[in-house]
Amino acid sequence: MIPKYDSRGNLPPGVHQASWKEIQDRYGYNNERQQLLTGLKAALDNLKMAGCKKAYLNGSFITNKEVPGDYDLCWEPKGVDDSLIDPLFILTRYVLPPRKEQKDKYLGEIMITLSNPAVFDMLNYFQLDDRTGDVKGIISIELDELS
């Protein structure tokens, strides 16, 4: 279940599990957001087809911002078949994400969670408000449940 926003318009701290239907119901309330959901679903479908089990949704899309510019997504690589995944996602394993190309195709930025959090911990980074440095919540999506 997706909790209510805090006083800053963010989700409260933590990783909040949500189904695709909950995400659609909560965040698809205008045309701009529905377009972003279409891109997000295409990205999630590709990740699921390649064997990804879990992804995390972040960014202004999961805040109370009326018209976010995009969404941020990171995914867990365990069990993913590189030959089945969109090459735009594979590049994120080795270099900075090709953000413009990702946004053109999927309307958001898609990154990988690293297997070595000592280098950079994307999940902890996702849980910080980059405007204030405050801790905030993100959404976890189990891709096996995605239809």
Q: Quick check: is 45 in a domain?
A: yes
Identify the pLDDT of residue 98.
73
Q: How many domains does the chain have?
A: 1
Domain assignment of residue 92, given as a range = 34-119+130-145
Q: Quick check: is 98 in a domain?
A: yes
Q: Quick check: is 97 in a domain?
A: yes
d(CA 40, CA 6): 24
pLDDT in tens, 82-95: 899 998 887 544 45
Q: Which of 35, 5, 1 is nearest to 129 (CA)?
A: 5
- Residue 97 near residue 106, CB atoms below 8 Å: no
In the chain the first and final C-alpha atoms are separated, in Å, by: 18
Averaged confidence pLDDT in the chain: 90
Q: Quick check: is 61 in a domain?
A: yes
Q: Quick check: is 79 in a domain?
A: yes
96: pLDDT confidence band, cut at 50, 70 and 90? Answer: low
pLDDT in tens, 27-55: 999 999 999 999 999 999 999 999 999 99
d(CA 87, CA 41): 17
Q: Quick check: is 16 in a domain?
A: no
Identify the pLDDT of residue 116.
63
Q: Quick check: is 71 in a domain?
A: yes
Q: Quick check: is 125 in a domain?
A: no
Q: Which helix (H) or strand (E) holds 57?
A: strand 54-58
* Residues in a beta bridge with 109: 72
